[in-house]
């Protein structure tokens, strides 16, 4: 499902953030990318999401050359095939929880009522249905990340990308989110999970890749 071939990404001078990364991932797998801070994990995820482009190499998702998409095409790619979960949630403060979750669906052209309906269902399923009408500013970290996951899933994307989803959470909330990902995996969701939390990677991942200074290494080396 995912093929990265010889991917390089440099920011200005200095060592590249990603250096000749090659990766394969099959449908239904959960890949954990682990590595210390600054090793290039977010950069890798951004390339998969089409948020950024590699300087060299190719990124193919579901047969689609993500690295060659125009801005508009990559936006369409994201809303149809990718769900994004962020470390710091990135919820829109001015929208209710339900509207936040429904937003990607309306962007994808789903009618507003249908999108809201689906959002509320999803929130219910994630156990936070009662928060649908609240605003993100009032929620705890764990609740916010559940909203973030719900938003990522609302378009039923084949690929879920999560960048340190537990990074801003205390251990109880982190465990909660971890459980959520485990359930999604059990349902067959393809997931790429970026984390520096080995325990999380250990419990969830079908496969783990280490990153160190932009190069793929065995997980044991990436510490």
Partner 1 sequence: MSGLGRVVRAGVRRRRLTTVAVGLAVLMAVTAAVLGASLLVASAAPFDRAFAGQHGAHLTAQFDAAKLSPAQAAGTARVAGVTAAAGPFPVVLATPPDAAPLTLVGRAGPGGAVDDVALTDGRWPAGPGEIVLGADAPYTRTGGVLRFPGLPGSPAFTVVGHARSVSRTADSWVTPAALTAPTGYQMLYRFVDAGTDTRVDAARGRIAAAVPAGALTGARSWLVVRQDADRNTGIFVPFLTAFGLLALVMAVLIIGTVVTGAIGANIRRIGVLKALGCTPVQVTRAYAGQALIPATAGAGLGVVAGNALAVPVLAETNSVYGTASSGVAPGTDLLVVAGVLAVVAVAAIASAWRAGHLRTVQALAVGQRPVSRHGRAAAWIAARVPGPPQVGLGLSRPFARPARAVGLIAAVAFGAATVTFALGLAATTADVAAAKNHDLGAVLVRGGLQFLPRGQQPGTPPSPKPITGTPAQIGAAIAAQPGTRSYYARGETSVAVAGMSGTSDLYTFGGDASDAGYQMVTGRWFHGAGEAVAVSTFLRETGTRVGGTVTLQAQGRTVAVRIVGEVFDPHTDPEVLVDAATFPELTPDSYYVTPRPGTNTAAYLAGLRAAVTPYGMQVLTPEGTRSGTLLALNFLTGLLTVMLVVIAGLGVLNNVVLDTRDRTRDIGVCKALGMTPRRTTAMVLTSVLPAGLAGGLLGVPTGVALYARTAPAMGHAAGLDLPGQAVNVLHRPELAALVVAGPLIALLGAALPAGWAARTRTATALRTE
Interface contacts to ligand ADP, rule CB under 6 A: 11, 17, 35, 37-43
Q: Which of residues 158-217 bind partner 1 (CB under 8 A)?
A: none
Nearer to ligand ADP, 6 or 38 (CB): 38
Nearer to ligand ADP, 11 or 88 (CB): 11
Among 30, 39, 42, 190, binds Mg ion (CB under 5 A): 42
Q: Which does 40 bind (CB under 5 to 8 A by kind): ligand ADP, Mg ion, partner 1, none?
A: ligand ADP
Number of chain residues interacting with Mg ion (CB under 5 A): 1
Q: Which of residues 91-120 bind partner 1 (CB under 8 A)?
A: 91-96, 99, 103-104, 106-108, 112, 116
Task: Pick the piece of the chain touching Mg ion (CB under 5 A) from 26-34, 35-43, 145-153, 209-217.
Answer: 35-43
Q: Which residues contact 14 (CB under 8 A, 6 or more apart)?
A: none
Nearer to partner 1, 170 or 179 (CB): 170
Distance of alpha carbon 166 from the chain centroid: 12
User: Is 151 buried (19+), middle (13-18) or exposed (0-12) by CB count in 10 A?
Assistant: buried
Bridge partners for 212 per DSSP: 215
Alpha helices in the chain (DSSP H): 41-49, 71-81, 97-107, 112-125, 141-153, 171-186, 198-204
Alpha helices in 108-193 (DSSP H): 112-125, 141-153, 171-186
28: left (phi over 0), alpha (psi -120 to 50) or beta: left
Question: By the criterion CB under 5 A, which residues form the site for Mg ion?
Answer: 42
Question: By the criterion CB under 8 A, which residues form the site for partner 1?
Answer: 43, 46, 49, 51-52, 71-72, 75-76, 78-80, 84, 86, 90-96, 99, 103-104, 106-108, 112, 116, 135-138, 151, 155
């Amino acid at each position: 499902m995912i093929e990265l071939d010889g991917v390089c990404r440099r920011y200005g001078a200095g060592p590249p953030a990603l250096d000749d990364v090659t990766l394969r991932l099959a449908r239904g797998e959960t890949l954990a990318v682990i590595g210390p801070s600054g090793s290039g994990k977010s950069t890798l995820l951004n390339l998969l999401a089409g948020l950024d482009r590699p300087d060299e190499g190719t990124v193919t998702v579901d047969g689609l050359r993500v690295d060659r998409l125009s801005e508009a095409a990559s936006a369409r790619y994201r809303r149809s095939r990718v769900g994004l979960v962020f470390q710091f949630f990135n919820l829109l403060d001015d929208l209710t929880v339900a509207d936040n979750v429904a937003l990607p669906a309306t962007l994808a052209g789903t009618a507003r009522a249908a999108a809201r309906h689906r959002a509320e269902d999803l929130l219910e399923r994630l156990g936070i249905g009662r928060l649908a009408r609240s605003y993100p500013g009032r929620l705890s970290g764990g609740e916010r990340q559940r909203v973030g996951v719900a938003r990522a899933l609302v378009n039923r994307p084949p690929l879920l990308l999560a960048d340190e989803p537990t990074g801003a959470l205390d251990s109880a909330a982190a465990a909660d989110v971890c459980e959520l990902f485990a359930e999604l995996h059990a349902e067959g969701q393809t997931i790429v999970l970026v984390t520096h939390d080995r325990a999380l990677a250990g419990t969830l991942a079908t496969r783990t890749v280490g990153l160190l200074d932009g190069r793929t290494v065995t997980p044991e080396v990436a510490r």
